[in-house]
């Protein structure tokens, strides 16, 4: 069973890589293309993060039936980020024109819809993981917090914001409300992901030892 987990994760990682390259190749055609702007999008970063996690998790699955606690935590955090990407995009951004974006629709669908869906299903169904301790929840919040701070600084200094709801033209009160709402969502999703680490539907072997992470 764990070999199936590995193959599916490698397939998902390959799909992410292909989609990001396709979107990047289209974006460089834009007269306003900027390397740091393109890779500043939460969508791109979260997909690249989980791509790396999928590859490591797949390699580990070929070797052993259970992942080490650090990898489980990284997998849980990246699942949270992808769930956030899927929900925020499909509720707030699906019809928005993103600055400096030459959209490739099939790539867009992979990065915003299919990979977020797969990431959640992978976490829910594939039980090759130990439990995540509740005290690790704050670790899930570090990356999104740093990303928001950097984007707000950039918006105030060079005018670049990756998403409309971060634009200073809305007023910092409105931007703050959006950020708080997304922060609450990420914290809640992190709690759900950690809670789901205590359940298993498909396990890699019949002798799977569900050890508890410290």
Residue 187 is part of which domain span?
A: 2-196
Q: What is the pLDDT of residues 190-208, one digit of tens each?
A: 999 999 998 877 766 644 3
Query: Would 107 be classed as within a structural domain?
Result: yes
Query: Would 206 be classed as within a structural domain?
Result: no
Q: What is the pLDDT of residues 204-213, one digit of tens each?
A: 664 434 444 4
Query: Would 210 be classed as within a structural domain?
Result: no
- Checking if the pLDDT of 15 tops 80, the result is yes
Chain centroid to Cα 10, Å, comes to 16
Query: Would 212 be classed as within a structural domain?
Result: no
Q: What is the pTM of this model?
A: 0.88
Instruction: Give the pLDDT of residue 209.
Output: 40
Cα dihedral across residues 129, 133, 137, 138: positive or negative: negative
Question: Closest by alpha carbon to 67, among 187, 181, 208?
Answer: 208
Instruction: Look at the chain and report how many structural domains it folds into.
Output: 1
């Amino acid at each position: 069973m764990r070999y199936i987990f590995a193959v599916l994760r490698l397939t998902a990682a390959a799909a992410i890589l292909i989609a990001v390259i396709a979107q990047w190749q289209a974006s460089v055609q834009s007269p306003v293309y900027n390397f740091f702007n393109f890779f500043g999008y939460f969508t791109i970063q979260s997909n690249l993060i989980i791509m790396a996690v999928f590859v490591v998790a797949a390699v580990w699955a070929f070797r052993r039936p259970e992942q080490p606690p650090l990898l489980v935590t990284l997998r849980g955090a990246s699942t949270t980020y992808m769930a956030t990407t899927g929900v925020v995009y499909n509720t707030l951004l699906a019809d928005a024109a993103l600055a400096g974006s030459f959209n490739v629709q099939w790539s867009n669908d992979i990065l915003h819809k299919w990979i977020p869906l797969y990431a959640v299903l992978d976490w829910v169904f594939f039980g090759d993981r130990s439990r995540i301790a509740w005290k690790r929840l704050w670790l899930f919040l570090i990356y999104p917090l740093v990303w928001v701070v950097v984007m707000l600084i950039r918006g105030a200094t060079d005018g670049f914001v990756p998403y409309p709801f971060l634009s200073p033209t809305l007023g910092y009160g409105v931007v703050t409300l959006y950020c708080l709402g997304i922060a609450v969502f990420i914290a809640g999703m992190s709690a759900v992901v950690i809670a789901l680490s205590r359940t298993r539907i498909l396990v890699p072997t019949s002798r799977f030892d569900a050890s508890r992470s410290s």
